[in-house]
Structure 1
Amino acid sequence: MMSFSIPYLLGGLSLLMLIGPSCSKQREEALGTLEWDRINGRAVDSETIVEIYAKEGEPVERGQKILKLDTRVQEAQVARLRANMEQASWNLQQLQHGYRSEEIARAQAEFEGAQANRKAMEIEYQRKQELKDSTAVSQREVNLSANAYAQSQAKEQAAKEQLNMLKKGYRKEEIEQAKSHLAAAQAELNHAKEQLSRYTVTAERAGLLDSLPFKLGDKPPVGAVVSTILAGKAPWARVYLPAPWLSRIKAGDQVDIMVDGREQPIQGTVRHIESNASFTPYYTLSEEDRSRLSYVTEIDLDPEIAKDFPLGLPVRMLEPHE
Structure 2
Amino acid sequence: MCLSNCSDKNNQQALGTLERDRVVLKATAAEIILAEPIREGSFVKKSDLLVQLDDTQAQANLKKAEAKLANAKAIQIKLRRGARAEDIEATRAQLEGAQAQVIQAIANFNRVATLSKEKMIGQAEVDNARSLRDSAQADVRRANQNLLALTNGTRPEDLQAADAQVAEAEANIAIENHTLKQLSITATRDGFLDRLPKHIGERTAINDPLAILLVGSSPYARVYIPEPARTTLSIGQTLNVHVDGYEKSFAGKLRWISQDPAFTPYYGLNARDRALLMYLAEIDLPETAKDLPSGLPVQVDIHPNLRSEPL
Match of 2:193 in 1: 209
Asked whether 1:51 is paired with 2:35, we answer: yes
What's the secondary structure of 2:219's corresponding residue? Answer: strand
For 2:304 and 2:279, the matched residues in 1 are separated by 19
Match of 1:220 in 2: 204
What's the secondary structure of 2:292's corresponding residue? Answer: coil
CA separation of 1:23 and 1:155: change in aligned 2, threshold 3 A: closer
Asked whether 1:68 is paired with 2:68, we answer: no
For 2:107 and 2:141, the matched residues in 1 are separated by 18
Match of 1:35 among 12, 15, 19: 19
Shift of 1:233: 1.9
Shift of 1:189: 2.0
Match of 1:313 among 291, 296, 300: 296
CA separation of 1:290 and 1:77: change in aligned 2, threshold 3 A: farther
Asked if the contact 2:20/2:214 (under 8 Å) is kept, the reply is yes
Asked if the contact 2:219/2:285 (under 8 Å) is kept, the reply is yes
For 1:43 and 1:23, the matched residues in 2 are separated by 51
What's the secondary structure of 1:272's corresponding residue? Answer: strand
For 1:44 and 1:218, the matched residues in 2 are separated by 15
Shift of 1:274: 4.2
Asked if the contact 2:232/2:304 (under 8 Å) is kept, the reply is no
Match of 2:89 in 1: 105
Shift of 1:293: 5.0
For 1:113 and 1:286, the matched residues in 2 are separated by 105
CA deviations over 1:56-85 (Å, ceiling 9, x no partner): 222222222223222222222222222222
For 2:114 and 2:232, the matched residues in 1 are separated by 118
Asked whether 1:165 is paired with 2:149, we answer: yes
Question: Structure 1: which 5+ residue stretches go unaligned?
Answer: 1-16
Match of 2:100 among 116, 119, 142: 116
Shift of 1:261: 3.6
Task: Look up the equivalent residue of 1:105 and give its one-letter code.
Answer: E
CA RMSD in angstroms comes to 3.2
CA separation of 1:187 and 1:290: change in aligned 2, threshold 3 A: farther
Q: What is the number of residues matched between the two proteins?
A: 303
CA separation of 1:219 and 1:149: change in aligned 2, threshold 3 A: same
Alignment of 1:254-293 (within 5 A): 254-262=238-246, 265-275=249-259, 278-279=262-263, 285=268
CA deviations over 1:35-64 (Å, ceiling 9, x no partner): 112233333323222222111222222222
CA deviations over 1:153-184 (Å, ceiling 9, x no partner): 21111111111112223322222222222222
Highest Rg: 1 or 2? 1
Asked if the contact 2:109/2:130 (under 8 Å) is kept, the reply is yes
Asked whether 1:145 is paired with 2:151, we answer: no
Asked if the contact 2:59/2:180 (under 8 Å) is kept, the reply is yes
For 2:211 and 2:292, the matched residues in 1 are separated by 21
For 1:200 and 1:53, the matched residues in 2 are separated by 11
For 2:175 and 2:227, the matched residues in 1 are separated by 48
Task: Look up the equivalent residue of 1:42 and give its one-letter code.
Answer: K
Task: Look up the equivalent residue of 2:29 and give its one-letter code.
Answer: D
Shift of 1:244: 5.6
Match of 2:282 in 1: 298
For 1:96 and 1:291, the matched residues in 2 are separated by 81
Match of 2:140 in 1: 156
Deviates more, 1:164-173 or 1:134-143: 134-143
CA deviations over 1:102-160 (Å, ceiling 9, x no partner): 22222111112112222332333344445543234554433332222222221111111
For 2:14 and 2:80, the matched residues in 1 are separated by 72
For 1:224 and 1:47, the matched residues in 2 are separated by 11
Query: Kindly, what percent of the aligned residue pairs are identical?
Result: 32
Shift of 1:21: 7.7
Question: Structure 2: which 5+ residue stretches go unaligned?
Answer: 306-311
